[in-house]
């Protein structure tokens, strides 16, 4: 149930993010979710796309530093307390979150999580009845 996320190293210069999205656009790759972590000098772009294997290849060929990272996706109800219910499960199981990002749609919100031990995270969430996002649903969200 792990989702393949792409992480791209980006310098903080204007046009770099646009350039990466152009490479993906030219390859007809669709982005279903992303977040950007930034520091003073550089950023790390994290992407969920419809074809992670091909996207990684394309970005590599264009000279980007790119990694594939395993993450887990969950659905939480799009209402007060929805996220809390999932996070409390992680807290109770002693799982710390490296980073996360989320997108809300009409009824459900999609949350992408990166933790140290993805398999253990999925197991803990499943036991507590949290809905795990199917990778193919994530890629084509």
Partner 1 sequence: MIWNQYIECMDREQLQQLQNRRFASMIERIYCNVPFYRKRMQSLGIEPGDITSIDQLKLFPFTTKQDLRDNYPFGLFAVPPSEVVRIHASSGTTGKPTVVGYTRKDINMWAEMVARALTGAGAGKNDIVQNAYGYGLFTGGLGLHYGAERIGATAIPMSGGNTQRQIQMMQDLGSTILSCTPSYALYIAETMEETGIDPSTIKLKAGIFGAEPWTENMRKEIEKKLHIKAIDIYGLSEIMGPGVAVECLEQKGLHICEDHFIPEIIDPNTLEPLPYGSVGELVITCITKEALPLLRYRTRDLTRLTLDKCACGRTLVRMDKVLGRSDDMLIIRGVNVFPSQIESVLLEIAETKPHYLLIVDRVNNLDVLEIWIEVDDHFFSDEVKQLENFQKRIQERIESVLSISATIKLVEPKTIERSDGKSKRVIDKRKF
Footprint on this chain of partner 1 (rule: CB under 8 A) = 5, 7, 9-11, 16, 37, 39, 41-42, 44, 46, 63-67, 69, 98-99, 114
Give the nearest distance from C-beta 115 to partner 1 in angstroms: 11
Q: Residue 114 CB: number of other CB atoms within 10 A?
A: 19
Give the nearest distance from C-beta 81 to partner 1 in angstroms: 29
Q: Residue 139 CB: number of other CB atoms within 10 A?
A: 19
Residue that is written with structure tokens 């990778």 in the block: 135
Judged by beta carbon, residue 67 or residue 127, the one nearer partner 1 is 67
Judged by beta carbon, residue 31 or residue 78, the one nearer partner 1 is 31
124: alpha, beta or left? (left if phi > 0; alpha if psi -120 to 50): alpha
Q: Residue 91 CB: number of other CB atoms within 10 A?
A: 11
Query: Cα–Cα distances in Å, from 11 out to 8, 43, 57?
Result: 10, 6, 20
Give the nearest distance from C-beta 13 to partner 1 in angstroms: 9
Judged by beta carbon, residue 65 or residue 105, the one nearer partner 1 is 65
Judged by beta carbon, residue 61 or residue 92, the one nearer partner 1 is 61
């Amino acid at each position: 149930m792990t989702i393949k996320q792409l992480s791209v190293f980006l310098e903080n210069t204007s046009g770099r993010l646009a350039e990466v999205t152009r490479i993906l656009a030219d390859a007809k790759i669709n982005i279903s979710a992303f977040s950007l972590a930034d520091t003073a000098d550089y950023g790390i772009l994290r992407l969920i796309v419809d074809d992670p294997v091909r996207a990684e290849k394309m970005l590599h060929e264009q000279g980007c530093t790119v990694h594939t990272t395993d993450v887990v996706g969950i659905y939480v109800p799009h209402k007060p307390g929805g996220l809390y219910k999932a996070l409390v499960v992680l807290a109770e199981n002693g799982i710390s979150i490296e980073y996360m990002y989320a997108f809300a749609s009409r009824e459900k919100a999609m949350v992408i999580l990166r933790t140290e031990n993805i398999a253990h995270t999925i197991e803990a969430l499943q036991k507590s009845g949290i809905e795990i996002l199917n990778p193919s649903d994530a890629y084509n969200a």
